[in-house]
Structure 1
Amino acid sequence: MSVWAGREDPEHDSLRWHQVITPVKSDSAPGAALLGFASDAGVARNQGRVGAAEGPRALRKALAPLAWHRSAPVFDAGDVSCHGNDDLEAAQQRLAERVAALLAHGHLPLVLGGGHEVAFGSWSGLARHFEAQGGAQGEARPRVGIVNLDAHFDLRDPSHVRSSGTPFAQIAAECHARAWPFRYACLGVSRASNTRALFTRARELNVLVREDHEIDTLRLDAIMRDLQQFMARCDHLYLSIDLDVLPAAEAPGVSAPAAYGVPLALIEPLIEAVRDSGKLRLIDIAELNPSFDIDGRTAKAAARLIHRLTLDS
């Protein structure tokens, strides 16, 4: 909790995040719960530039001074750490246990990455929660929609190596094994950064795909309608934001900076639509790499996204 520090203003009703956030407890009232995933093992396996393990701390520091505009509480649930490349799978399972526990207590988990290998751990926690709830509520086949804002599909074949490039392929396989529908929307994809094999795989899985160059001011309303139609066919939503969806000028501190990217001004309306759907159950933010973050731009952009997602709708 020492990271949560900053200025305090004398005016009435001028609180900031660092003055409000508290450690999560077993009897905490339901709220948003920040949970760090200090890992870049998946990035290393994917031959990317490492450093994202320091992302959770940097993101907390960027959030700390932001103005507080929320009525429901926000908690800090600490970190899950990955100790070396060989610990990745075990760390993802530890993350899943923590996410499931937060969901069981009525919280909205907001996982701070870390490489995008965080996604498999996040989703696994949500799956555990639904499996536990299924017996009591009869929801044997939950319709979970994954909305991923990302320059990459992350649908690479995990049979060779499981990494930051494979989480949604792993999730698709888990859904198939459970006879659950796999519903995946990937917005902001860079054709230059994804092979033809990955586009073919996305078509086979019936992924809703919108490329980076398609998301502009003139076409935003049409993309929003596509997103609304996608969400309407889902009972629950999991939002994953890979910060490399943003242009490199806005997000230099990532594993793979985007030459083109989708500006923050166009990302925000999309995440707000997910936030306001009433179906959002889980959020994660991936790929913040403070080692390459010029002037903290990426951390500040990520903090703003979290701030928007946690505003009272």
Structure 2
Amino acid sequence: MGPMDETRRTIALIGAPTDVGASVRGAGMGPDALRVAGLADALRAHRFTVVDRGNLAGPPNPGLAPEGGLRHLQEVVTWNRSVFDAVDAALGQGEFPLLMGGDHCLAIGSISAVAWHCRRQGKQLRVIWLDAHTDVNTEAISPSGNIHGMPVACLLGHGPASLVGWSGERAALEPQDIDFIGIRSVDRDEKQAIRQLGLQVYDMRHIDEHGMRNTMTEALHDIGDNTHLHVSFDLDCLDPMDAPGVGTGVRGGPTYREIQLCMEMIADTGRMGSLDVVEINPALDVRNRTAELAVEFVQSLFGASTLAR
């Protein structure tokens, strides 16, 4: 029995409609795509109380070139402050925050707020990062300057000063606190950073060789009663054949069934306490298919398995 089972906590939907962290436009429409796909009703069907807090407000995307290796730094800071405050408020009220992105830069605010709460409650934070990319670039090594490729680095304490240290410590996460699933696109200098930091990356080769079940057993093996599990779900983790509505699709992702198993095994821990669903780009989608898939997988994360087990 986990945090979602004991009290059937209220799920707070928090929309962050921005693509300031990306260079491809359109992820800002993600929150409404999830609403149209029926996210709230899908969760209510599983007897959760769902409160839609609406969309956060923030600066528009100025569409500028990077400065000093960073695109739209001030706008990214402003949006992440809003996300931090909203996630912080939800957790403070005992709710389960479900951040609807927006691009993946928003995980800086989201996970920093979760880390701040975990520190105050003496809980161990663990993050499962479902993504085609590891997002551990910094302004020094990023080929694009897009901050949605940098949130993990910022959360580990490596990034621009204005995006680091929000959780009350320099690093919201230690390298052993995060596991990456589905990775298949890593920039050259990023590979060195991953090795130097000692990050646990379950790339597609690992999943191909060991299977999703063994991979997730390994990733989840040390989750205990005192763990707060945060899932950061980038829809480009899926193969773009299944999920075309993403800005940076990479071929060769996990299958629908593999992601379904991944989500069900996370649900089985009973320890998920917060969730990001990011990088849905309706401008590139086909009939809202990607948001509809996201809703299916979110239902699985909240324990919608086929049979009562």
Range of TM-score over shorter length: 0.7 to 0.9
Asked whether 1:82 is paired with 2:58, we answer: yes
1:188-236 alpha-carbon deviations (Å, 9 max, x no partner): 011xx21232222222222211112432496223212212225359722
The aligned residue for residue 181 of structure 1 is 174
Question: Please, which moves more after superposition, 179-188 or 265-274?
Answer: 179-188
Give the TM-score normalised by structure 2: 0.80
Return the letter of the residue paired with 1:60.
Answer: R
**What amino acid maps onto 2:294 in structure 1?**
A
AA matched with 1:149: L
CA contact (8 A) 2:156 2:171 kept: no
- Is the Cα–Cα contact under 8 Å of residues 112 and 286 in structure 1 kept in the other structure? yes
Is the CA contact (8 Å cut-off) linking 2:43 and 2:50 kept in structure 1?
no
Quote the Cα distance in structure 2 between the aligned partners of 1:251 and 1:114.
16
Encode CA deviations 1:10-41: one digit per residue, 9 max, x unaligned.
xxxxxxxxxxxxxxxxxxx8311111111100
Please say if residues 44 and 50 of structure 2, whose CA atoms lie closer than 8 Å, have aligned partners that are also in contact. no
Matched to 2:155, the amino acid is: I
Runs of at least 5 residues in structure 2 that lack an aligned partner in the other structure: 1-7, 61-71, 158-164
Secondary structure in 2 matching 1:259: coil
| Deviation (angstroms), 1:101 | 0.6
Structure with the greater alpha carbon radius of gyration: 1
Q: How far off its partner does 1:178 sit?
A: 5.3
Which sits farther off after the overlay, 253-262 or 218-227?
A: 218-227
Conserved 8 A contact 2:129-2:181 = yes
- Structure 2 distance, partners of 1:68, 1:234, is 27
State the match for 1:4 in structure 2. Answer: none
> 3-state SS of the aligned residue for 2:232?
strand
Change (3 A) 1:197 1:120: same
In 1, the alpha carbon distance for the partners of 2:85 and 2:290 equals 28
Q: Any stretches of 5+ residues in structure 1 without a counterpart?
A: 1-28
Deviation of 1:113 after TM superposition, in Å, equals 0.7
Question: How far apart are the structure 2 equivalents of 1:99 and 1:231?
Answer: 22
1:91 lines up with 2:84 in the alignment: no
In the alignment, which residue of structure 1 is the partner of 2:162? none
What is the identity, as a one-letter code, of the residue corresponding to 1:108? F
Partner of 1:151: 132
Whether 1:210 aligns to 2:202 is yes
Larger mean CA deviation between 109-118 and 260-269 belongs to 260-269
The answer to whether the Cα contact below 8 Å between 1:217 and 1:266 also exists between their aligned partners in 2 is no
| Equivalent residue, structure 2, for 1:110 | 98
Provide closer, same or farther for how the CA distance between residues 264 and 180 of structure 1 changes in structure 2, counting only shifts above 3 A: closer
3-state SS of paired residue (1:248): coil
The 3 A distance-change label for structure 1 pair 144 and 67 is: closer
- 1:224 maps to which of 185, 196, 216: 216
After TM superposition, list the pairs within 5 Å mapping 1:253-292 onto structure 2.
253-292=245-284
Task: Indicate whether 1:39 and 2:31 are aligned.
Answer: no
C-alpha contact 1:71 1:312 (8 A) present in aligned 2: no
- In structure 2, the CA distance between the partners of 1:255 and 1:130, relative to structure 1 (3 Å rule), is same
**Secondary structure of the structure 2 residue equivalent to 1:187:** strand
Q: How does 1:44-55 map onto structure 2 within 5 Å? A: 44=23, 49-55=24-30
With normalisation by structure 1, the TM-score equals 0.79
SS of alignment partner, residue 293 of structure 2 = helix
Contact 1:243 1:286 (8 Å CA) reproduced: yes
Q: Is the 8 A contact 2:14 2:54 kept in 1?
A: yes
How is 1:159-170 mapped onto 2 (pairs within 5 angstroms)?
161=145, 163-170=147-154
Correspondent of 2:33 among 16, 40, 58: 58
